Amino acid sequence: MKPIRTALVGCGKVASLHAAALAALPESTLVGVCDSALERAQQFSARFGGRPFRDLAEMIRDTGAEALFVCTPHPLHREAVVVAAQAGCHVMVEKPLAASLADCDAMLQAAQKSGVTLSVMSQRRFYEPVQRMKAAIDEGRIGRPILGLFLMFSWRDEAYYQSDPWRGKWATEGGGVLVNQSPHQLDLLRWLMGDIQEISGCWANLNHPYIEVDDTAVATLKFRNGGLGSIVTSLSQKPGLFTKVHIHGSNGSSIGVETDRGATFIAGVSKIAEPPLNDLWTIPGEEQRLGEFQATDRAYFQTIDPVAHYHALQIQEFLQAIQAGRPPLVTGADGRAVVEMFTAIYESNRTGRSVALPIVI
Ligand SMILES: NC(=O)c1ccc[n+]([C@@H]2O[C@H](COP(=O)([O-])OP(=O)(O)OC[C@H]3O[C@@H](n4cnc5c(N)ncnc54)[C@H](O)[C@@H]3O)[C@@H](O)[C@H]2O)c1
């Protein structure tokens, strides 16, 4: 099949993962790279190919790009998606889809109106231990998922928040640990447990006095299937410990993944040192498989660059979905659902009440 003409906007840290994949995948021809700082686009162009641009609309027009990858800070995602959708370009956006539900709705509407595909990055869905959990749930091997937990004990220091001027501020980042570091596991929790009915929660800044936003949040959830859930997410543990998602089923069995060991990686700065692994697997008759899964995943981890690999897998799946005319694994609606989760926690903290979902604005 003919490769798709691809382009990206925001030539910063995470964009190097997109550009590397777009330059290498047979489904893509990288035709343009755009940044408001033109020298960054020029550096990307020299490294990965594609013509450099400062203006997004001009890049899409001049290159005939068919799919755009948005790697700008979150409050800027909306503008790029609307410009691309209006030009008839399919769009994949870095997580979170946006910092607000109003932005999400504008993006979803623009994509629907133009008939283009909108997707959001959630590369941990492609981790083998996570895929294994999804298959076990879909095949009914844990019964019904009745209790879901997302736990993150991670770390970010002052240098991280000073590394880019947009970090750590409500106006330019839209939030803290909930908006920036947690979307991956918020997405996994909902993907594995199902739709959410109600959330209550609260947040605090416990030990990062040099930022405005949350470094820690906790929440309780009720799912539409009658199940319950719990979230504890924090950037206040030094050294960072782990990030896990555990799902317990109605037949009594438990399955889980440690998505990250230590602090979660910073794209373009730190590496993934330890493989994502299943850390719980008590499905009747499958108890012996945990060691087997871990050995397989440890061996595979040695054969890949994990930071780049899972981005490339999701980008390839998105491009193949466009070629096949089917929805991608992670849709724009999935991206909105994550924004709805952190919006509900902020709202619950503000009012002291639980928040019913969906939030319609
Ligand atoms: N999926 C992941 O694991 C992952 C990892 C890191 C970051 N991210 C997400 O990627 C996004 C970018 O993060 P980053 O760490 O790469 O940020 P960054 O600051 O390193 O890069 C952002 C780039 O956007 C450019 N930019 C800013 N405004 C622009 C505009 N109006 N037009 C064009 N370019 C503009 C900046 O010059 C910069 O080069 C964020 O939404 C973040 O949450 C995702």
Q: Which of 9, 11, 13, 338 to mutate to test the pocket of ligand 1 (most atoms within 8 A of CB)?
A: 13
- 270 CA from centroid of ligand 1 (Å): 16
- 167 CA from centroid of ligand 1 (Å): 10
pTM over 0.75: yes
Give the pLDDT confidence score for residue 49 in this predicted structure.
98
Give the pLDDT confidence score for residue 354 in this predicted structure.
98
SS3 string, the chain, reads CCCEEEEEECCCCCHHHHHHHHHHCCCEEEEEEECCCHHHHHHHHHHHCCEEECCHHHHHHHHCCCEEEECCCHHHHHHHHHHHHHCCCEEEECCCCCCCHHHHHHHHHHHHHHCCCEEECCHHHHCHHHHHHHHHHHCCECECEEEEEEEEECECCHHHHHCCCCCCCHHHHCCCHHHHHCHHHHHHHHHHHCCEEEEEEEEECCCCCCCCCCCEEEEEEEECCCCEEEEEEECECCCCCEEEEEEEECCCCEEEEEEEECCCCCCCCCCCCCCCEEEEECCCCCCCHHHHHHHHHHHHHCCCCHHHHHHHHHHHHHHHHHHHCCCCCCEHHHHHHHHHHHHHHHHHHHHCCCEECCCCC
> How far is residue 6's CA from residue 25's CA, in Å, rounded to a whole number?
11
- 12 CA from centroid of ligand 1 (Å): 5
Give the pLDDT confidence score for residue 268 in this predicted structure.
82
- 280 CA from centroid of ligand 1 (Å): 34
pLDDT along the chain (361 residues), means of 10: 97 97 98 98 98 98 98 96 98 97 98 98 98 98 98 97 95 96 98 98 97 98 98 97 98 98 91 95 96 98 96 98 98 98 98 97 89
Q: Which of 16, 17, 36 to mutate to test the pocket of ligand 1 (most atoms within 8 A of CB)?
A: 36
> How far is residue 105's CA from residue 260's CA, in Å, rounded to a whole number?
31
Q: Which of 33, 94, 235 to mutate to test the pocket of ligand 1 (most atoms within 8 A of CB)?
A: 94
Give the pLDDT confidence score for residue 257 in this predicted structure.
98
Q: Which residues lie with the beta carbon below 6 Å from any ligand 1 atom?
A: 9-15, 34-37, 40, 71-74, 76, 94-95, 121, 123, 164, 180, 267
> Which protein residue has the closest C-alpha to ligand 1 atom 31?
36
- 96 CA from centroid of ligand 1 (Å): 11
- 74 CA from centroid of ligand 1 (Å): 8
- 256 CA from centroid of ligand 1 (Å): 30
